[in-house]
Amino acid sequence: MEKKHIFDKPENVKRFLLGFYLLLGISLAAELFVHKHAYFWWEHYPFFHAAFGLVAFVALILAAKHFLGPLVRKRENYYD
């Protein structure tokens, strides 16, 4: 008998995503009220760190797909 996982039920996935989105919203809202000790002038903009993280994430994914992928990818008939 196969062991059931907690995320096998769709309602558990919905609860997890709801909690994740609530936590994300709370952390973004808290950034408006927490004092920042910024070193650079652009760090004073609201949601700068969230936007920077998103842009860096997308850039890393695109770099891996378009520049690193062709370096490590084998030809389709490599093992024939």
Is position 5 within any domain? yes
30 and 47 co-located in one domain: no
Token look-up 């309602």 returns 11
Q: Is the dihedral of CA 56, 58, 61, 62 positive or negative?
A: negative
Single-letter residue type at 47: F
User: What confidence tier does 46 reach under pLDDT thresholds 50, 70, 90?
Assistant: confident
The answer on pLDDT for 1 being more than 80 is no
Is position 28 within any domain? yes
Q: How many domains does the chain have?
A: 2
**Are the beta carbons of 47 and 31 closer than 8 angstroms?**
yes
Range(s) of the domain holding residue 6: 1-34
The answer on pLDDT for 72 being more than 90 is no
Token look-up 């700068």 returns 48
**Are the beta carbons of 7 and 13 closer than 8 angstroms?**
yes
Q: Report pLDDT for 37.
A: 86
42 and 68 co-located in one domain: yes
